[in-house]
Amino acid sequence: MSQRLMFLVTLSFFTLLSSPSLAVEFPTVGNAMPLTNICRFAPDPSYCRSILPNQPGDIYSYGRFSLRRSLSRANRFMSLIDAELNRKGKVAAKATVRALEDCKFLAGLTMDFILSSSQTVDATKTLSYSRAEDVHTFLSAAITNEQTCLEGLKSTASGNGFSGDLFNDTKLYGVSLALFSKGWVPRRQRSRPVWQPEASFKKFFDFRNGRLPLNMTESARAVYDTVTRRKLLQAGADAVQVSDIVTVNQNGTGNFTTINEAVAAAPNKTDGTNGYFLIYVTAGLYEEYVEIPKYKRYVMMIGDGINQTVITGNRSVVDGWTTFNSATFILSGPNFIGVNITIRNTAGPTKGQAVALRSGGDFSVFYSCSFEAYQDTLYTHSLRQFYRECDVYGTVDFIFGNAAVVLQNCNLYPRQPRKGQSNEVTAQGRTDPNQNTGTAIHGCTIRPADDLATSNYTVKTYLGRPWKEYSRTVVMQTYIDDFLEPTGWNAWNGDFALSTLYYAEYNNTGPGSNLTNRVTWPGYHIINASDASNFTVTNFLVGEGWIGQTGVPFVGGLIA
């Protein structure tokens, strides 16, 4: 078969899987460019040339074509996973089935993300900055989903059978992301730091102003008496709407006795017009695995305080779970707010990866919460996340994932790991240079947990290590205690990623912030205020709007 005929057959098959209304046009005049010039933007130019039609077009026509082809591949992969689950679901080992189920879940998310992105770019060549950021985030998450699926399958009997598909799909999604980044993402002018002194913030849910108190020690009835069922805060510019309030109390006096029952009662696929569905979880030890599905949007969950309202589980990789599904609390629904809750995984330091919270909820916010485990405590998996005044306890890679995430005014507590291990606060998982992801630790405190503090610091502790090739972590305006290794950062394996990662520090304080003996890797940087401002809430998360509507305090720029 000739190459021309092969291309026509391939294109015809692809068109069958795509909507006829989404036909791709390749202009041959004006700003048309040769395929070679287009593909120079992709991480793998040779692969890009192999999957795009070799005829002149502009960045927009090629970008649209690539996205449609990405959607076709995502649909194909979902079918492959379904077939494998149907074939092996009843006979395969539990670990294999769980990994396949993870992949099916992730493939469904990926199809959502790519379809939304394709529909957006088909509509226009010009996007607002916030809309472009949405698509940029979705395509970044699609790549993360593929990597997560591959990680889970590696140790199973199905791993080799899907590795080729996952590898090629990831490369294709990388082409779509690169062309979108070049064609649609507006050029961002470097923003000046936004100074927002702490004193300017109003207390979240200030009870004296008739608002729901942070430390909610009153009975459920007091919650109903204090606020109406339609407003959480008083009317005004900073009002936070609430559509309904339900109470979880293990003694039977509330609406529900378990958290999952309350989550199930939340409406599906709301757009937030009527506000948040508020779940008040009274003090108690809740031994349940909580999940906020992707169709449960605008859920707010408030407990009675750290170590008062506690959600706990003990799943781990050693006991047959994937890292992805070992979490005690799983968040997939967008626009979630969590306040005054402790989430634990008690598997212990000898059970390997054991997640407390896994968050893949876009626009998620956690305020005054605690996350407690050992290895892989806080899985900031994907999309956009913000943590304020939270405590995170862990050992190896205890804040990890590939979200765009800012932790602000948080306390990070490395603890005593199992014998022979070192502590790494972060293991960021960026795999593509065009992903808009990374971990920013801003205005936090890093000090040893009590068990590590009494061990005479025989365990080495680092700020992070590069889990993936383009790992990106910035620590700024943070207090670092004297237990940190002077080099600051740890290698993953030899010289892997040391020239492609982006690790940076800015204006940190404390005895552990001394930069004299820091690593000299090509990817490590000591940055100035201008560079640091790129990793603030305002610039990195474009968060002033979506965080501002939650009522949770935040600093948009650098701290004065």
Q: Which residue has the tokens 């936090």?
A: 444
Continuous segment of H or E residues that includes residue 372: strand 370-372
Nearest to 356 by CA among 336, 341, 335: 341
Continuous segment of H or E residues that includes residue 292: strand 290-292
Nearest to 440 by CA among 361, 531, 523: 531
| Rounded alpha-carbon distances, angstroms, from residue 354 to 120, 163, 317, 411 | 37, 24, 7, 20
Residue 181 burial class via C-beta count within 10 angstroms: exposed 0-12, middle 13-18, buried 19 and up: buried
Continuous segment of H or E residues that includes residue 494: none
**In whole angstroms, what is the distance from residue 440 CA to residue 536 CA?**
8
Residue 224: CB atoms within 10 Å = 13
**In whole angstroms, what is the distance from residue 358 CA to residue 338 CA?**
13
Q: Which residues pair with 388 in a beta bridge?
A: 367, 408
What's the distance, Cα to Cα, between the start and end of the chain in Å? Answer: 67
Please report how the helices 94-123 and 159-183 are oriented relative to each other, as an axis angle in degrees rounded to 10.
Answer: 20
| Rounded alpha-carbon distances, angstroms, from residue 100 to 153, 314, 331, 460 | 7, 21, 19, 36
Q: Are 213 and 222 in contact (CB under 8 A)?
A: no
Q: Are 440 and 536 in contact (CB under 8 A)?
A: yes
Sign of CA dihedral 83, 86, 87, 92: positive
**In whole angstroms, what is the distance from residue 190 CA to residue 539 CA?**
9
The one catalytic residue in 304, 376, 391, 397 is 397
Nearest to 245 by CA among 207, 206, 300, 311: 300
Q: Which residue has the tokens 């004006």?
A: 30
Cα atoms found within 13 Å of the Cα of residue 116, Cβ hemisphere only: 17
**In whole angstroms, what is the distance from residue 73 CA to residue 77 CA?**
6
Q: Are 510 and 484 in contact (CB under 8 A)?
A: no
**In whole angstroms, what is the distance from residue 471 CA to residue 490 CA?**
12
Query: Does residue 169 have an active-site annotation?
Result: no
Helix, strand, coil shares of the chain as percentages rounded to 5? 35, 20, 50
Residue 193: CB atoms within 10 Å = 18
DSSP string over 441-491: EES-EE---HHHHTTTT-S-EEEE--SSTT-EEEEES-EE-TTS-TT----
How many residues does this entry show for the chain?
560
Active site residues: 397
